[in-house]
Amino acid sequence: MGSATTNGSTENGATANNQRPAAEAVAYQGERLPNVPDDLVVPGILNLDFEEKLWVPQAPDVWFRPILFNVSQGYFVNLLRVRRSGILSRHRHSGPVHATVLKGKWHYLEHDWWATEGSHAFEPPGDIHTLEVPDGVEEMVTLFHVTGAYIYVDPQGNPVGVEDVFSKLASAKAHYEKVGLGSDYVDQFIR
């Protein structure tokens, strides 16, 4: 630690209010830590004009594009594209969900808020809701970060289906195999 100077900063650049030392433009010289997964960068995800075959069909007029399958922490990040109006699903979340709306809008029948273009929504674990895309929205695209599972439920909350990082991964593998990219195309998105 450097000694304090008269203006409150220290020799290594740390200040009394900000203890973060100034970094030099010198890369880390040491060994890479063991067992650290590779970084993952997927360029251009806000530009939706990418190859159609990257969209994985999920239901009629509903597709997703994987960005990250985090099998070691049980979450996934993807783009969801919907080209129809109406009810998409009723579900319960076992973990937290973050949603950033890139295009269109949607809402849950149970809540009075709307997820509109440019909005970010947080859905807490345990929330049970019914997703509707309203009439007049030709296309909705949302970036989702989903931890845990979607547990699809009937109106009383009884489970009728489940989806998680592993089921998303399986359907993406099957689709990319089918369209000629190969099932191992998804490997780049797995951590």
Instruction: Between 123 and 164, name the residue whose CB sits nearer to Fe ion.
Output: 123
Stretch in the footprint of Fe ion (CB under 5 A) among 32-40, 115-123, 138-146, 179-187: 115-123
Write the binding mask 52 to 71 for Fe ion: x where contact by CB under 5 A, - elsewhere. --------------------
Q: How far is the CB of 181 from Fe ion (least distance, A)?
A: 29
Instruction: Between 130 and 183, name the residue whose CB sits nearer to Fe ion.
Output: 130
Instruction: Between 4 and 160, name the residue whose CB sits nearer to Fe ion.
Output: 160
Q: How far is the CB of 89 from Fe ion (least distance, A)?
A: 8
Strands 56-59 and 62-70 turn out to be antiparallel
Question: By Cβ distance, which residue is nearest to Fe ion?
Answer: 123
Instruction: Between 145 and 179, name the residue whose CB sits nearer to Fe ion.
Output: 145
Q: How far is the CB of 55 from Fe ion (least distance, A)?
A: 20
Q: Which residues pair with 66 in a beta bridge?
A: 78
- Record the tokens describing residue 156, joined without a space: 């009383």
Q: Which of residues 116-135 bind Fe ion (CB under 5 A)?
A: 123
Residue 75 near residue 165, CB atoms below 8 Å: yes
Q: How far apart are CA 167 and CA 66, in angstroms?
A: 12
Q: How far apart are CA 45 and CA 157, in angstroms?
A: 34
Q: How far is the CB of 121 from Fe ion (least distance, A)?
A: 9
Task: Dump strand ranges (E) for 44-176.
Answer: 56-59, 62-70, 75-82, 86-93, 97-103, 105-108, 114-116, 120-123, 128-133, 140-147, 150-153, 159-163
Instruction: Between 123 and 185, name the residue whose CB sits nearer to Fe ion.
Output: 123
Q: How far is the CB of 64 from Fe ion (least distance, A)?
A: 14
Residue 75 near residue 123, CB atoms below 8 Å: no
Enumerate binding residues for Fe ion (CB under 5 A).
123
